[in-house]
Structure 1
Amino acid sequence: MSIWTSLDHINILPLLGTTMGFGRLPAMVSPWLENGALTSYLERRGDILTTMEKFALLGDVAAGLQYLHSQSVVHGDLSGPNVLIDDNGRACICDFSLSTLLTELGGSTLETSVPRAGTLRWTAPELLELEVPEDEKNPPRSVPTPKSDVYSFGRIMLQILTGKIPYYYYTREPQVIHAMSQGRTPRTPSEDLVTDHQWAFMQRCWAPINTERPSGEEIVEFARHELVVTTASEFNDIEGKDVEEKAEDELPPAPGGPGDTHTGTHPRGPKDEGKDVEEKDEGEHPPTPGSPEDTHRDTHSQGPKDDEGKNVEEDELPSESSWLRNILEVSLPPRSRVN
């Protein structure tokens, strides 16, 4: 339990203490997060979350998991129910390294390393002992590893992007176990939810244990990259829409349309009792721009001015892209947000 109390990271739910009266073992006390677990949060808000917000959540989980591994801590049961969302929409990993905690309290590592009911959909197959061991009398122990955590992260990624739990089309866990024993991963989601690039990364997370799965650093970098890409894409969509609407507002009214109060009324000029009226003398015309008579010359014809009336170069003007850079600096999860 001292391991949990020593952890200090913005994406790790802190342990405040313990209490008795909730069973034979001490109960652990942590802050209450109003938005609850990731699974229920996505059920309520999954349809309205933007892609940028989804990758911000994924970046939180990646950063928290990388921090655990940097502290030589393996979660062992990373799943939708074990990721909580705070009031600001930030994801925090909780209930981690349960086997280590229970071992300190006198439990068995072998017994507690098996994922609990309800989290099998996120569990790496090597922890489920789906194959019959060669030595049935002395079967090998299934111990969680950083690789098994990365496998579960791939399932979390699928859940966040689609809003549905892994194998959502199976209502009973024996069906899930059977599918996993046959080597069947979750069905490929539609491209509007998950791109080919993102799906390929999930497949790497779900690679067999004897092959290389991404490291904690890789999952953080992937989440950062996807957040940058989606933020830029959504910014461009908003900017393009604003420009299009602005252009439509500035278009002249269509000839004869509701906003056209001059076109078609006097096609040949003003009339006086049915006869054409001669145009005004040239002397009555507005002065030519730049002439001595032009007392209303546009003071901005040579570009914007500063406070002293000097011209301001175009590259000194604020750029809309600077707003995007500010957004990314705020949105990106730091590599290791340790207080």
Structure 2
Amino acid sequence: QRLRREIYIWKRLVHPNVHQLCGLYETLGPLPALVSEWHERGDIKQYLDTWTRLLTPVQILDVAQGLEYCESILHGREIVHGDIKGANVLISNDGVARLSDFGFSVLLANYSQSLTQTSNIHGTYRWMAPELVLEEGARHSYASDIWAFGCLIIEVYSGQVPYHTRRNHLQVVTALARSEPPPLPSALPAFLMAIVLECCTFVVEERPAASYIVACIPPKAVLSRISFMVR
């Protein structure tokens, strides 16, 4: 019941940069299937591979605005995304980026944990904040989402996963243990580089709020005139 109650909280989230949940389908198994709008252009990686190789920072601002909205609405509920990465950023037919699966990965993983008694840390490790990997008992937080947002910017502008020179999980963990930040792509605009450096700090308390990130990004009228060839 708690799982369904929290899922219905997400169903009420309405924002241009958040992929909205339309409903649930509950006859396929113990967990409900999520019903949402189809995005023909796919996630942001598929969009860049298939539709265009020119990227503007507008989509980055879209994601930041979606994150800011969810943080403001869900403040105090202890519900976070938990798996921010390119595969969870969908592109609409008019090129708007929407943050998808906001919170579902953690909600469903924690529900599964109650059945299996496995670890409570879930996510894609190359985007995961160091405290989630290195500290016993650490939980997903707004601060860990901000780290992942910085890694998303790196992923989009480099065309590679964060810590792409590290071949496996152990090498990524070693880099995190040595406080080595993910390498920055050379194509990264200066203002986004500054944001990534603030997002991907190992000092959790120093990571910015999503509202601060949005304030640091120029307006869309300016961003739309800036484009970069990716990959």
How would you bin the TM-score normalised by the shorter chain?
A: 0.7 to 0.9
Structure-1 residue corresponding to 2:4: none
Deviates more, 1:5-14 or 1:18-27: 18-27
1:102 is matched with: 108
Deviates more, 1:102-111 or 1:32-41: 102-111
Gapped runs of 5+ residues in structure 2?
Answer: 1-6
For residues 109 and 162 of structure 2, the distance between their equivalents in structure 1, rounded to whole angstroms, comes to 29
Partners of 2:120 and 2:139 within 8 A in 1:
yes
Task: Choose which of 191, 205, 218 in structure 2 pairs with 1:224.
Answer: 218
Task: Give 1:112 deviation, angstroms.
Answer: 7.3
Q: Number of residue pairs matched?
A: 216
In 1, distance between residues paired with 2:112 and 2:59? 35
CA distance in 1, matches of 2:173, 2:110: 30
What CA distance in whole angstroms lies between the structure 1 residues aligned with 2:46 and 2:142? 26
- Determine the structure 2 residue equivalent to 1:30: 36
Letter in 2 for 1:69: E
Aligned-partner Cα distance in 1 for 2:30–2:199: 37
Q: Which residue type is aligned with residue 216 of structure 1? A: A
SS at match of 1:84: strand
TM-score (norm 1): 0.56
Q: Percent identity?
A: 34
User: Which amino acid is 2:65 matched to?
Assistant: A
Read off the aligned partner of 2:37 and give its amino acid letter. Answer: P
Cα shift at 1:172: 3.0
Which AA in structure 1 matches 2:68? Q
Q: CA 1:99–1:216 in structure 2 vs 1: closer, same or farther (change >3 Å)?
A: same
Q: Which of structures 1 and 2 has the bigger CA Rg?
A: 1
Q: Deviations over 1:290-331 (max 9, x none)?
A: xxxxxxxxxxxxxxxxxxxxxxxxxxxxxxxxxxxxxxxxxx
Output one character per residue of 1:251-296: Cα deviation in whole Å (capped at 9) or x when no partner. Answer: xxxxxxxxxxxxxxxxxxxxxxxxxxxxxxxxxxxxxxxxxxxxxx
2:172 paired residue number: 176
Question: CA shift at 1:39, angstroms?
Answer: 2.8
Shift of 1:102: 3.2
Residues in 2 aligned to 1:70 and 1:200: alpha-carbon distance in whole angstroms: 23
Match of 1:82 among 82, 88, 101: 88
The structure whose RCO (Cα within 8 Å, separation 6+) is larger is: 2
State the AA in 2 paired with 1:221: A
CA RMSD of aligned residues (A): 2.8
**SS of equivalent to 2:90:** strand
When residues 75 and 199 of structure 1 are mapped into structure 2, their CA distance, relative to the original with a 3 A threshold, is: same
Structure 1 segments unaligned to the other structure (5+ residues)? 132-138, 235-339
Match of 2:131 among 126, 140, 144: 126
Q: Point out the structure with the larger helix share.
A: 2
Distance 1:31 1:99, change over 3 A: closer
The verdict on how the C-alpha distance between 1:217 and 1:85 changes in structure 2, with shifts beyond 3 A counting, is same
Whole-angstrom CA distance in 2 between matches of 1:123 and 1:40: 22
